[in-house]
Amino acid sequence: MAKQIPKDEGAKLLEAMFAKRGYLLPYHRMLGASDPKLLATYDALYTRLTLDERILSAVEKETVWIALIATTREKLATFHFERAATAGMSNTAISDALAIAAACESFNALFFGFSAFEKWVTEKMAMKRYTRIFEAARGRTLPATAEIAAAVCHAGLSNANGMRIHLQRAFESGASRAQMAEALSYVLLHRGGPTMVDAVACWEKAAQDLKIPGPY
């Protein structure tokens, strides 16, 4: 028989979560009142995904998060900016992370350009300009970190074409499979299971096509 959680356990969990995160969201309170056991399980997942130190450094982690937040227009995630500052990121470094997201948005226009107007704009011409935009945008962000962040940005939007480019560039820049896997795991929390399925499927296919390390 499943262990019964006392009625006040939800309140205790919420207090602990607030102490750990510095904030509570409405759905946290809902789960605390309706299903404390589910809240505890979710909090353990969240802690492992975003708070525990895994492979990425704190700066690398928050660079990826800030780029993903900007790409998906998530206004509530200001705590990642606070964590970035705590990790030692300057406002310039934070702005560079935002610029990575902005550069990724230029991909669709250039991809559309060669897809629709190949008589005038070849794929090589379009992608050369995209990478030029990206290189200018990343500022002082280390190449491998910037490429990982860009792959995650495209993954968050289920943009396989953009993701493939940055997967290849990330590994060429020295990124490891473990770094990429951790960064992509943020998509599961931020964008949900279906988007994560698409992201890993894209990586699997890219590994076969581009001869780069795969997700496993």
Query: How much is the pLDDT for 6?
Result: 54
Q: Residue 1 pLDDT more than 50?
A: no
Q: How many CB atoms lie within 10 A of CB 207?
A: 18
H or E segment and range at residue 59: helix 58-72
Distances (CA, A) of 126 to 5, 149, 151, 184: 58, 21, 18, 26
Q: Collect all residues with Cβ–Cβ distance below 8 Å to 162 and sequence separation of at least 6.
A: 104, 107, 108, 111, 150, 153, 154
Distances (CA, A) of 158 to 45, 134, 151, 194: 23, 19, 10, 9
Query: How much is the pLDDT for 163?
Result: 98
Amino acid present at 119: K
1 burial class (0-12, 13-18, 19+ CB within 10 angstroms)?
A: exposed
Angle, nearest 10°, between helix axes 58-72 and 79-86?
160
Query: How much is the pLDDT for 4?
Result: 54
Domain ranges in the chain are 1-52, 56-210
Query: How much is the pLDDT for 215?
Result: 97
Query: How much is the pLDDT for 170?
Result: 98
Residue count of the chain, please give it: 216
CATH 1.20.1290.10 fits 56-210, yes or no: yes
d(CA 128, CA 113): 13
Model pLDDT for residues 4-23, shown as the tens digit of each residue: 545 588 899 999 999 888 88
Q: Residue 158 pLDDT more than 60?
A: yes
Model pLDDT for residues 89-128, shown as the tens digit of each residue: 999 999 999 999 999 999 999 999 999 999 999 999 999 9
Q: pLDDT: is 23 or 137 the higher one?
A: 137
Distances (CA, A) of 171 to 1, 66, 151, 212: 49, 21, 11, 7
50 pLDDT tier (thresholds 50, 70, 90):
confident
d(CA 76, CA 51): 17
d(CA 69, CA 65): 6
